[in-house]
Amino acid sequence: MDLGLTAKKAIVLGGSRGIGRATAALLLQEGASVALCARGVAGVDAAVSELSVSGSVVGASVDLADSDATSAFVVKAIEQLGGLDILIHNASGFGVEPDRESWQRAFAVDVMAGVAAVDTALPALKDSADGSITFVGSMASKYHFGRPASAYGPMKAAMRTYANELAQNYGSDGIRANVVSPGAVWFPGGSWDQRKQENPKFYQAVERSIPLGRLGSAEEIAQIIVFSASPAGRWLNSTHLVADGGQVAAVD
Ligand X SMILES: NC(=O)c1ccc[n+]([C@@H]2O[C@H](COP(=O)([O-])OP(=O)(O)OC[C@H]3O[C@@H](n4cnc5c(N)ncnc54)[C@H](OP(=O)(O)O)[C@@H]3O)[C@@H](O)[C@H]2O)c1
Q: Could you give the CA distance from residue 34 to residue 93 in angstroms, rounded to a whole number?
A: 22
| Residue 4 to residue 11: CA distance in whole angstroms | 16
Find the shortest distance in angstroms from Cβ 87 to ligand X.
Answer: 14
- What distance, in Å, lies between the first and last C-alpha atoms of the chain? 28
Nearer to ligand X, 105 or 128 (CB): 105
Q: By C-beta, is 17 or 240 nearer to ligand X?
A: 17
List residues binding ligand X (CB under 6 A).
14-20, 37-40, 43, 62-65, 90-92, 109, 136, 138, 182, 184-185, 190-192
Note whether 96 and 152 are within 8 A (CB): yes
Minimum CB–partner distance for residue 92 and ligand X (Å): 3
CB of 126 to ligand X, least distance (A): 25
Contacts of 196 (CB under 8 A, 6+ apart): 186, 203
- Is the CB of 7 or the CB of 41 nearer to ligand X? 41
Residue 43 beta carbon to ligand X: minimum distance, rounded to whole angstroms: 5
Tell me how far, at minimum, the Cβ of 78 lies from ligand X, in Å: 18
Q: What is the 3-state secondary structure (H, E, C) of 86-109?
A: EEEECCCCCCCCCCHHHHHHHHHH
Instruction: Report in angstroms how near the CB of residue 239 gets to ligand X at its nearest.
Output: 17
Question: Given the complex with ligand X, which of 16 and 230 has the nearer CB atom?
Answer: 16
CA neighbor of 237 nearest in space, from 173, 169, 164, 138: 164
4 vs 184 by CB, closer to ligand X: 184
Amino acid residing at 160: R
CB 170 within 8 A of CB 214: no
Q: 126 or 142: whose CB is closer to ligand X?
A: 142
- Contact in structure between 38 and 65 (CB atoms under 8 Å): no
**H/E element holding 236?**
none
